[in-house]
Amino acid sequence: MSRVEDTTGREALLKAAGVKSGRVLDIGMGGCACMALYLARKGYDVTGIDRSSHAIHRARENAKGKRLRGEFTARRADATNLPFESDTFDVVISFHSLHHIDRPIAALREMFRVCRPGGKVLISDLNPTGVKLYKHKHDAARLLALVEREARRLGAAVKIADTRLDRLFVCAKR
């Protein structure tokens, strides 16, 4: 049986969020679509977007043969200009993708726009320890501070937690 392993804190993010079901958007899902397929296996209906057509192709291939209890849709889109109506999703997630996006705060604003009031915007991104381990070059402390400031500016109730490698933001949209 094929499996989607939880090796990088996916469960930690879900637990911190306390969400159990709903319509989910995963931005920058990547070709492995690890978070998106993990959620679809658990029964969430997931739309994953990525700006790379190669990633979309690989994500669809990866979904084949997986025992998904929820629906999974892969769609090419730019996280900074999402092709969805406002207030559409119950949960909007960025899992290890914000630091890959050229304009992360523009993407964060879009995540909040398409999340319904009362829904959750969930972000997991590398903390300074994670950056070292994954040999990334960006300034994690700066990005994480910007994310927190913008989420609060947008009026969200923000809970923050750390795993060994990640900073988790659980934001409730008012």
Taking the alpha carbons of 146, 151, 153, 159 in that order, is the dihedral positive or negative?
negative
Q: Is 104 in the site for ligand SAM (CB under 6 A)?
A: no
**Closest approach of ligand SAM to the CB of residue 150, in Å:** 16
Using the minimum distance from each CB to ligand SAM, give the nearer residue, 81 or 86: 81
**Please, what is the minimum distance in Å from the beta carbon of residue 157 to ligand SAM?**
24
Q: What is the secondary structure of 84-138 as a DSSP string?
A: S-TT-EEEEEEES-GGGSSSHHHHHHHHHHHEEEEEEEEEEEE-HHHHHHHT--S
Residue from the set 23, 58, 60, 100 that interacts with ligand SAM by CB under 6 A: 100
Q: Which among 28-36, 64-72, 113-121, 125-133 is the span making contact with ligand SAM, rule CB under 6 A?
A: 28-36
Using the rule CB under 6 A, give the single segment among 60-68, 89-97, 152-160, 166-174 that binds ligand SAM. 89-97
What does the block give as tokens for 10?
């996916």
Residue choice 22, 23, 43, 51 for contact with ligand SAM (CB under 6 A)? 51
In sequence order, the 6+-apart residues with CB closer than 8 A to the CB of 142 are none
Using the rule CB under 6 A, is 123 a contact of ligand SAM? no
Nearest to ligand SAM of 111, 156 (CB atom) = 111
> How far apart, in whole angstroms, are the C-alpha atoms of residue 9 and residue 166?
8
CA-based R_g, the chain, Å = 15
Chain position whose Cβ is nearest to ligand SAM: 28
Size of the site for ligand SAM (CB under 6 A): 19
Strands 157-162 and 89-95, bridge-based pairing: unpaired
* Distance set, CA 146 to CA 8, 38, 99, 140, 150 (Å): 23, 28, 12, 10, 6
Binding site for ligand SAM (CB under 6 A): 28-30, 32, 34-35, 49-52, 55, 78-80, 95-97, 100-101
